[in-house]
Chains A and B, each alone.
Chain A
Amino acid sequence: MSFPALFERTRAAGRAAFLPYLMAGLPGPDASVELFGALDEAGADGFEIGLPYADPLMDGPVIQAAGAAAIGAGTTIDVGLRVAGEVVARFGKPCAVMTYANPILRLGIDRFCGRAADAGVSALIVADLPVDEAAPFVAGAARRGIGMVLFAAPTTSDARLQAVVEAGPVFIYGVAEMGVTGERAAASEWAAGMAARVRAVTGLPLAFGVGIATPQAAAEAAAVADGVIVGTALVRRVLEAPNPAAAARSLREAGAAFAASMMRRPGASQPV
């Protein structure tokens, strides 16, 4: 399934899509596929699969550590894309891979997108790629049938938002916090206002991520968005688990609580 089809379905069901993020290759390549499986059982609607990068500017300490550990465990780009391919094949849900610009440029945008497409990846998220630099990535991804995800942050002006929409992303990633990835205690104070601004200019799906760490915070984001991305809160469980089986148990439990928080409350503002 593609992301547009997914969001069409979840919108019709009056809820947001739960899109958990895990690092490919953590704690090992095969073990990480099983962890995505645990989230599949917990009710994930799609997946964000991190391809590890050693200098992740948009990531806090937990995902930094996860990336370093995955690289240490031998997770090359090819291994990460193999993990993505297995996740797609086994769970049949849309997958986005998330990484940084340099590993993609090193391989070449076309070759990277070709391999990602072969793995069945539907979307690409590049954390240090603003719309200003996105054109060759959008084009390269489109040639392989992959949708590019572009960002809107609390600081993004309406003019920039317009440029993001015009670049043709498959969905918009709303950065829910001022800061890098991590776990915030409270719900995003930005999501509602950003959602209103995005809805005013486009019908494109909007998913919030960064900092969303509790089912309550996820529910507040779900009330105004088409998707909710939860990363650090889940990755931390993988890092803290004594073994892969314990990590899977922990993810099933946490994942179920997040998945259950995606229903829109009556009266909450709806996407157009």
Chain B
Amino acid sequence: MTMDRPDQRGRFGEYGGRFAPETLMPALAELEGAFEEARRDPSFRARLDGLLADYAGRPTPLYETERLSEELGIRVLLKREDLLHTGAHKINNTIGQGLLAQRMGKPRLIAETGAGQHGVATATAAALFGMECAVYMGTVDIERQALNVDRMEMLGATVIPVTSGAGTLKDAVSAAMRDWVATVAGTHYIIGSVVGPHPFPWIVREFQRVIGEETIAQLAGRVPDVVAACVGGGSNAMGMFYPFAGTGPDLVGVEAGGRGIASGEHGASLVAGTPGVLHGAFTYLLQDEEGQIREAHSVSAGLDYPGVGPEHSYFHDAGIARYVSVTDDEALGGLDLLARTEGIIPALEPAHVIAWLARERAELAGKTVVVCLSGRGDKDVEHVARIRGRK
């Protein structure tokens, strides 16, 4: 059974909660209150829907592939979040939370970013609403997602490099939270996925569930066998899964297998992790015997995260969805496959899902699979070329 909203303690089953510094607790309560009010306010909903349609480009198409379906022997439908303004599903959340920040009278937005897509989407919302914006980004990600750094700066945001830890997404989230502890009175932290302390996982899911709801409407009564999405923090997957849960399809989340689960260098928190606390929530994560968070690894910056949203942990334990992993090399193959059969260059994150279809083609033969194509690959073109030694 899915939970319409987390319980009083902000938990999905045993997962979630609010393991946050006391300084932030009143702001989390304020945010929860503002969201409660906003979602019951028809004018808020109308403003959000209007911007999603006219500014972001919703609804996105549900496209039935021909050559890919033929190649794999699977009927593959793509939910084209890659066609949204700024190039990924992240904009669904940043427009929603940007409007919430406006309602709360907070003039400054901060965000963390891995792939840079959430940073770009936050910088975009800040420009749209006339707000100040700072984005925390690990130095490794600044390197491999350089295009998005330039985009954020062009949009008027300040990109703040994070050198601590491995210089990737986990460290960027920590740095953004530290900023927020100091600036909470005038700043809203737009967290980029269904992670963090309550109410963030719930709010982000509510802003992303439009993906699954639209898909169901577009299917017009047809029920797919499988609905699949990549899982970093898990926002595109939860946005897709939540409306589908309990309606029949097998829900499959694809995590970053990195250099292979056995190598220990991956981002597969649900496939290979254990429960603990990261960034304010009790959830599956990668940790050592001592409870120190392990560094994740993925070729894709957006999946290079050692935790996962608490609602996915709940889905995992309750058997509402199942989770698998795909390696870096397989994901690169997935990118090529979609590019060459369909003329669509996916981001490396959803390329993991295409790769999973290719790997499991025997098991999936003849089935109908809906894939959340969470973002487009422009940001990864240089990175992939470099990996392949062409640059």
Contacts and interface: CB of A to CB of B under 8 A. Distances in A.
Interface of A: 53-55, 57-61, 64, 71, 76-77, 100-107, 127-133, 150-157, 160, 175, 177-180
A103 B23 contact: no
B9 interface: yes
Contact of A156 (B17, B22, B293): B22
Interface string B350-389: 0000000000000000000000000000000000000000
B276 A106 contact: yes
A103 B292 contact: yes
B291 A104 contact: yes
A156 B25 contact: yes
Nearest to B10: A132
Nearest to B25: A130
B23 A175 contact: yes
A57 to B, nearest CB: 5
A106 B291 contact: yes
Contacts of A131: 22
Contacts of A129: 19
A132 B178 CA distance: 20
B287 A102 contact: yes
A61 B20 CA distance: 18
A178 B185 contact: yes
Contact of A130 (B20, B164, B177, B276): B20
Contact of A105 (B165, B182, B185, B276): B276
Find the residue from B24, B26, B277, B279 having the highest chain A CB count within 10 A. B277
A102 B293 contact: yes
B278 interface: yes
Contacts of B170: 55
Given A133-B19, A153-B22, A154-B23, A103 B182 contact: no
- Contact size range, B: 35 or more
Contacts of B9: 132-133
Given A54-B293, A55-B174, A102 B23 contact: no
B27 interface: yes
Contact of A160 (B25, B278, B289): B25
Find the residue from A129, A152, A157 having the highest chain B CB count within 10 A. A129
Given A104-B291, A133-B17, A179-B182, A155 B23 contact: yes
Contacts of A100: 277
Find the residue from B164, B178, B182, B289 having the highest chain A CB count within 10 A. B178
Nearest to B292: A54
Interface of B: 9, 17-27, 164-165, 170, 174, 177-178, 181-185, 276-280, 282, 287, 289-293
B279 A57 contact: yes
A71 B9 CA distance: 33
A160 B23 CA distance: 11
Given A128-B21, A133-B17, A58 B26 contact: no
Contacts of B277: 100-102, 105, 128
B166 to A, nearest CB: 10
A128 B165 contact: no
B276 A178 contact: no
Contacts of A179: 23, 178, 181-182
A155 B26 contact: yes
Find the residue from B19, B170, B278, B280 having the highest chain A CB count within 10 A. B19
Contact of B280 (A53, A104, A128): A128
A156 to B, nearest CB: 6
Given A60-B178, A128-B19, A152-B22, 12 more contacts: A59-B178, A102-B276, A105-B282, A106-B290, A128-B21, A133-B19, A155-B184, A157-B26, A160-B22, A160-B25, A178-B182, A179-B181
B165 A55 contact: yes
A160 B24 CA distance: 12
Nearest to A182: B182
Nearest to B18: A132
Nearest to B285: A102
Contacts of B177: 57
A61 B9 CA distance: 31
A175 to B, nearest CB: 6
Contacts of B18: 130, 132-133
A55 B291 contact: no
A77 B291 CA distance: 9
Contacts of A71: 292
Contact of A153 (B23, B174, B276, B278): B23
Find the residue from A64, A102, A107, A178 having the highest chain B CB count within 10 A. A102
Contact of B290 (A61, A77, A150): A77
A81 B157 CA distance: 44
A53 B165 CA distance: 12
Contacts of A54: 165, 292-293
Contacts of A77: 290-291
B292 A53 contact: yes
Contacts of A180: 21, 178, 181-182
B21 A127 contact: yes
Contact of A106 (B19, B21, B289): B289
15 contacts: A54-B293, A55-B293, A101-B277, A102-B278, A105-B277, A106-B276, A106-B287, A106-B290, A130-B22, A133-B17, A133-B19, A153-B25, A155-B24, A177-B182, A179-B178
Contacts of B185: 155, 178
B21 A153 contact: yes
Contact of B21 (A53, A102, A151): A151
Which 4 A-B pairs have CB atoms at the shortest separation, nearest pair first? A106-B291, A179-B182, A103-B291, A151-B22
A53 B276 CA distance: 13
A156 B182 contact: no
Contacts of B23: 153-155, 175, 178-179
